């Protein structure tokens, strides 16, 4: 944990995000060209990982207020029982904050800025900040575990909040 407790956003890339989840984006080459040549299909981009125990994968909408830089990061959370995908429903970047796990606690967070048109799928049990749209409509489609037994939410509040800068 740095003394300054500040974070600077970096561009979201599949490689940098690989320990935490998957970037939802077009591949270099489409899986198929459909609709009489007018549409690229890029198939099967993420892995759903849901502990059922009576639960299931569901589609939800999140309608969020927008945030702005500098952003104050006070807490992260994680979902021990399932992956969680966020698909923006408007064409703007959003802020993604994740942190590695260190013996059950979040380590130093990383802040990523998506490109417009990208989504993310967080792996099960990845520490992450709450949904933080910066511009636009603030609506996201979310694919995560619905219902079932067990607690699927763990929160960690930082003793010293971070300030996230646009860079």
Spell out, one character per residue from 130 to 149, where the chain touches a second copy: x when CB under 8 A holds, - when not.
Answer: xx----xx-x-xxx--xx--
Residue 156 binds a second copy, judged by CB under 8 A = no
Residue 69 binds a second copy, judged by CB under 8 A = no
Cα three-residue angle 7-74-46, rounded to 5 degrees: 70
Q: Is 3 exposed, middle or buried (0-12, 13-18, 19+ CB in 10 A)?
A: exposed
Select from 39, 108, 160, 165 the one that contacts a second copy (CB under 8 A): 39
Rounded-to-integer distance, Cα 4 and Cα 160, Å: 10
Rounded-to-integer distance, Cα 119 and Cα 93, Å: 9
CA distances, 148 to each of 30, 88, 96, 145 (Å) = 36, 26, 27, 8
Select from 2, 4, 15, 35 the one that contacts a second copy (CB under 8 A): 35
Select from 91, 101, 107, 161 the one that contacts a second copy (CB under 8 A): 91
Stretch that binds a second copy, among 13-21, 98-106, 107-115, 117-125 (CB under 8 A): 117-125
Tell me which residues touch a second copy (CB under 8 A): 24-26, 30-31, 34-36, 38-46, 48, 57-65, 85, 87-91, 116-117, 119, 121, 130-131, 136-137, 139, 141-143, 146-147
């Amino acid at each position: 944990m740095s003394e300054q407790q500040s974070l600077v956003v970096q561009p979201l890339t599949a490689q940098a995000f690989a320990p935490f989840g998957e970037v939802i984006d077009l591949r270099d080459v489409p899986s198929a060209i459909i609709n009489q040549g007018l549409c690229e299909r890029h198939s099967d981009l993420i892995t759903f990982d849901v502990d059922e125990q009576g639960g299931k994968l569901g589609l939800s909408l999140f309608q969020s207020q927008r945030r702005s830089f500098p952003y104050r990061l006070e807490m992260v959370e994680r979902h021990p029982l399932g992956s969680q995908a966020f698909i923006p429903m408007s064409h703007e970047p959003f802020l993604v904050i994740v942190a590695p796990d260190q013996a059950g606690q979040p380590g130093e967070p990383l802040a990523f800025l998506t490109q417009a048109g990208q989504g993310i799928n967080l792996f099960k049990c990845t520490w992450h900040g709450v949904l933080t749209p910066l511009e636009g409509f603030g609506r996201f489609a979310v694919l995560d575990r619905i219902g079932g037994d067990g607690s699927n939410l763990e929160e960690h509040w930082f003793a010293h909040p971070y300030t996230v800068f646009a860079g």
